[in-house]
Structure 1
Amino acid sequence: MDLRYFAWLRERIGTGHEVVETQATTVAELIEELKTRSDAHAFALSDLKSVRAAVDQQLVSFDASLEGAREVALFPPMTGG
């Protein structure tokens, strides 16, 4: 599965893209797996109030299914202006 990180998540993790194999069935499970990958992942994903997710370019909640997903993007909340 392709993972994309944006804004300060990309900076804290140290990459904007990685490919992972996962047994996670939801976004929340995937995030828990990612936290174990490195201290940088754990730090970046420590406060999920500041993180949003999209599966295959559709904004989703953390309990969203990953069945058939090709891409997950994680990013801070967006603001308009």
Structure 2
Amino acid sequence: MKILYFAWLRERLNRGEEDVSPPAEVATVADLIDWLAARDEAFAHAVEKRALIKAAVDAKLVKHDASIAGAHTIALFPPMTGG
């Protein structure tokens, strides 16, 4: 699955995307964020306030309890402002 990072997440991680193969027990967006944080200290620091992180699964905005089963792309981004 491809993980896309946007805005300050992209800047803090110094990458815009990565391909990952999470284990089967990683079933939700929250699980994925936890798994990514456990394997990458920079990611863990960037998402310390996890409630602020927004997610999209295959281009559909979702909450952290959304399933990632069968997902091709997960986008993670900070809150957006309008204008």
Deviation of residue 77 (structure 1)?
Answer: 1.0
- Unaligned 5+ segments in structure 1 are none
Take 1:11 and 1:78, find their aligned partners in 2: how far apart are those partners?
15
After TM superposition, the runs of 4+ consecutive aligned structure 1 residues lying more than 3 A away are: none
Cα RMSD (Å) of the superposition?
0.9
What is the aligned partner in structure 2 of residue 61 from structure 1? 63
Deviation of residue 43 (structure 1)?
Answer: 0.5
TM (norm. structure 2) is 0.92
TM (norm. structure 1) is 0.94
What is the aligned partner in structure 1 of residue 7 from structure 2? 7
1:1-81 pair list within 5 angstroms: 1-23=1-23, 24-81=26-83
Take 2:11 and 2:71, find their aligned partners in 1: how far apart are those partners?
24
Equivalent pairs counted in the alignment come to 81
Q: Aligned with 2:51: secondary structure?
A: helix
Q: Partner letter of residue 9 of structure 1?
A: L
Take 1:39 and 1:13, find their aligned partners in 2: how far apart are those partners?
10
